Amino acid sequence: MFFIKAGIAFLLLAFLLFLIVYVGFTGTVPSTEELQKIKNPEATEVFASDGKLLGRFYIENRSNVSFDHISPNVINALIATEDSRFYHHRGIDEIALIRVFVKSVLMQDRSSGGGSTLSQQIAKNLFPRKSFGPLTMPVNKLRESIIAYRLEKLYSKDEILALYLNTVPFAENTFGIGVASERFFSKPPSKLKIHEAATLVGMLKANNSFNPRKNPERSLDRRNVVIEQMLKNNYISVGEAKLYKAEPMDLTYNLITYNEGPAPYLMEKLRPFLQTWCDDHFKEDQTTYNLYTDGLKIRTTIDFDMQLAAENAVSEQMKNIQNLFDEHWGKNKPWGNDQSVVYRGMKRSERYRELKKKGVPEDQISKIFNTPTSVSLFNWNGNKQLEMTPMDSIQYYLKILNTGFMAMDPFSGELKAYIGGNDFRYFKYDHTKSKRQVGSTFKPIVYLAALEAGISPDTYFANEKKVYEDYNNWSPENSHDDYTGFYSMEGALAKSINTIAVEVLMQAGISNVVDLAKRMGIDSELPEYPSLALGSASVSLEEMVCVYSEIINGGRKVTPYYLKAIESNSGQVLEEFQNNQPEEQIAQTENCRIITQMLKSVVNDGTGSTIRSVWGIDSDFAGKTGTTQDQADGWFIGMTPTLVAGAWVGGEDPSIHFRTLGTGAGGHTALPIVGHFYSQILHNSKYQNLRFKNFESPSEESLALLDIPPYREVIEVGLKGFFHDLFGKKETKKDYELKMQDKSTREQAKEDEKPAAEPEKKPFWQSMKEIFKKKSK
């Protein structure tokens, strides 16, 4: 009798507790209407032009996947392991609850599981548990049961499975089967094999403990338990279970987040615009879009394979360059005893700016920067976690060389590859936009301005040291200290002769050069000074890639284009962004083709020749190296007929540099990055159109003007032939340059340089016969 009364009392108390929870005295239970609006926070995804994923913006790293795009292997593994009676209950599995009660309460068996169905687990994931003291467990279980029952009335079984798999957290801050599948196996969930699906489902029991990357042995054991459950529930045969349990833990790990992935600097380039777009556009419910939760799809112009080639080129070559730099300086500090360099580095640091923002006084900041702490350090051979002072870490990073790289279609302006630095996790600043002295990569603008001003490409210029008295007696110097002979425009550009670049600038007119550079899109300040010809102005890599693109594009304006469209999470196009390139002719097409022809000589015979000898580029190619004072900046812009790619390499502070031109010139620092990039894509069958296409050639008349020796030791005028060689007057360099301003004189000089036609050779006897015949007359 006692047990009957106790049982009735227990049931009454349970019913009363149920009513308390159902009515909402322990907190509101989501209504049917609320459950109809369930929406997981979904990451916005950014895609390359071919649809491959570049990165995500998110609060929770999640990408929702429909049931039709989930492999049956995942579904079977999940049901077998988490809810074997899934298709036989309506959200609450009474049999499982009784089993759990008997085993865990009466038999004290901790391995009996929790008895929660998938629907109850969804309720727990979407509506986190609360504390109710000693009633915490029963109240939360009742609450989840009510929610699960309502979910089963609203959604089909397939929809509940998809909702669960999109809601559940996996390891490493990934949410949902879509992101987990891409993270650990680099494939969509529809392509997962049985042992791969078992690995991911196995993580759900304890996602960190069974993380296959960090704990492969434990993950393997858990995977095999899931496979056994699939066998037990008749989803696979004995033979299949044996086969898949023998498979090794073979991951294809692919980390794509906001900070990591193929294009984090592009993500940051897009982010401000996308954030503004979301704030200005409304959804159907009249709320604005959220970049981090609404699962937008962003379509870009980036070529995925080119981006990977660029990433590979940067990582391989910057590692080599950094090793050379470290060996070059050894234990010495590149800044010597100049502590102002370190102080500037400290003031640029994020830690310093945060402390200043909080109003921390300088003496306290100095103390903080000299107190040891745990610091994560970037290193090309593997990042390190060390104990050091923030000031020591500042000095460490000052010795790291930085880079920027971008590749662009010179006709459409479409960005194809974009890298702003070594590693976005450690270096947030985008060096494609940083303003650094541009060196000799500026010279094509000078020579183009000269052509636009009417100076003919067949003009020779004297290579002589000259003092410009009107400019503080400034005098340009050549890198190899050679001041002999005469160079054609093409020869001077190929060999990057500084004295002649300055002379060409002066003859073209400094203001004309500045005006052309501005029209070509350089908005940096350009000093009207002779040193402008040598690239003394600070210009961004993005600006210079645009300039070289405009040369290839026949003098027509080009601006970067990289955002094609924004779509909703369902794929509906919300806005398309047209590629409206400006219809502006900024230089004569023929002159641009002449400059391109000159730039081909740079890589064939000049400062960029290693692009062929080292990197094996055998297609039509042009480019220009650049090196600034003390090797502080290294540049190279390389061009094929349909692609322009450029790189910059330098220290965070311009005082950080190689000590010699032989190691620090742009041809040794920036060129290898561009060369490595092109060597990958031009030997890829996908890009054969790039390899075998030729530049637009200048006219025959222009080619004839260019068909002169690039260098002459002396220029001679007066009598021709043998007597001229003995007695002819040598022309001075100044006289020659003045005389050659006249076009007819230049053309006559070219005719004079042609060798005289050799007389027809006759047999000896015939010659003697003619002599005697003449004598007899």
Residue-level pLDDT at 281: 94
Per-residue model confidence as pLDDT tens digits over 750-777: 455 444 444 444 443 344 444 444 444 4
Residue 110, pLDDT score: 45
pLDDT of residue 20: 58
Work out the percent of the chain whose per-residue pLDDT is above 70: 83
| pLDDT band at residue 332 using 50, 70 and 90 as cut-offs | very high
* 622-664 tens-digit pLDDT: 999 999 999 999 999 999 999 999 999 999 999 999 999 889 9
The tens digit of pLDDT for each residue in 44-71 reads 999 999 999 999 898 777 888 889 999 9
When comparing pLDDT for 326 and 40, which is higher? 326
Give the model's pLDDT for residue 167. 86
Q: Kindly state the tokens that stand for 145.
A: 């049961």
Alpha-carbon distance of 346 to 334, in angstroms, equals 16
In sign, the C-alpha dihedral spanning 750, 752, 755, 760 is positive
Distance CA 694, CA 776 (A): 64
Hey, what amino acid is at 90?
R
Cα gap 599→638, rounded to integer Å: 9
What is the torsion angle, in degrees rounded to the nearest 10, for the CA atoms of residue 412, residue 415, residue 417 and residue 418? 150
What's the pLDDT score for residue 370? 94
- At residue 172, the pLDDT reads 84
C-alpha count within 13 angstroms, C-beta hemisphere, residue 602: 28
Task: State the residue for tokens 């340089």.
Answer: 753
Instruction: Name the DSSP letter for residue 387.
Output: E
pLDDT at 726: 39
Least confident of 17-31, 97-111, 193-207, 329-343: 97-111
**Are residues 198 and 72 in contact, defined by beta-carbon separation less than 8 angstroms?**
no
**What mean pLDDT do residues 440-453 have?**
98
Mean pLDDT of 607-611: 95
Q: Name every residue whose Cβ is closer than 8 Å to that of residue 287 and which is 6 or more positions away in sequence.
A: none
Q: What is the tens place of the pLDDT at every residue in 529-553?
A: 999 999 999 999 999 999 999 999 9
- 714 pLDDT exceeds 80? yes
Strand partners, 67: none
In tens, the pLDDT along 376-417 reads 899 998 888 889 999 999 999 999 999 999 999 999 999 999
Tokens representing 496 are 């990057």
pLDDT of residue 102: 54
d(CA 485, CA 177): 71
Average pLDDT of 129-150? 71
pLDDT of residue 154: 86
Phi, psi angles (nearest 5°) of residue 574: -90, -35
pLDDT of amino acid 472: 94
- Sorted by where each starts, the structural domains of the chain and their CATH numbers stand as 7-37+59-256 (1.10.3810.10), 335-398 (no CATH)
> What pLDDT score does 593 carry?
98
The structure tokens listed for 162 are 């998809």
Q: Which of 203, 214, 245, 216 is nearest to 74 (CA)?
A: 203
Looking at residue 100, what is its pLDDT? 53
For the stretch 487-526, what's the b/e string if a residue is b when 16 or more beta carbons lie within 10 angstroms of its beta carbon? bbbbbbbbbbbbbbbbbbbbbbebebbbebbeebbbeeeb
| Helix 118-126 / helix 157-167 crossing angle, nearest 10 deg | 40
What percentage of the chain reaches a pLDDT higher than 90? 63
* pLDDT tier for residue 477 given thresholds of 50, 70 and 90: very high
Residue 375 and residue 384: Cα distance in Å, rounded? 8
For β-strands 538-539 and 61-62, DSSP reports them as unpaired
Strand partners, 57: 44
* Contacting residues for 430 by C-beta, under 8 A, at least 6 apart: 265, 268, 269, 404, 420, 421
pTM for this predicted structure? 0.77
pLDDT of residue 739: 47
**193 φ, ψ (degrees, to nearest 5):** -85, 175
- Residues 486-515 have pLDDT tens digits of 999 999 999 999 999 999 999 999 999 999
Looking at per-residue pLDDT, the higher value among 393 and 94 belongs to 393
Average pLDDT, the chain: 86
Most confident of 29-38, 745-754, 755-764: 29-38
Mean pLDDT throughout 589-593?
A: 98
Between 149 and 402, where is the model more confident?
402
Q: What is the pLDDT of residue 692?
A: 87
The token pair at 348 is: 């640029």
**Which pLDDT belongs to residue 724?**
36
What is the residue-wise DSSP string for 535-599?
A: T-SEE-HHHHHHHHHHHHTTTB----B-EEEEE-TTS-EEEE--------B-S-HHHHHHHHHHH
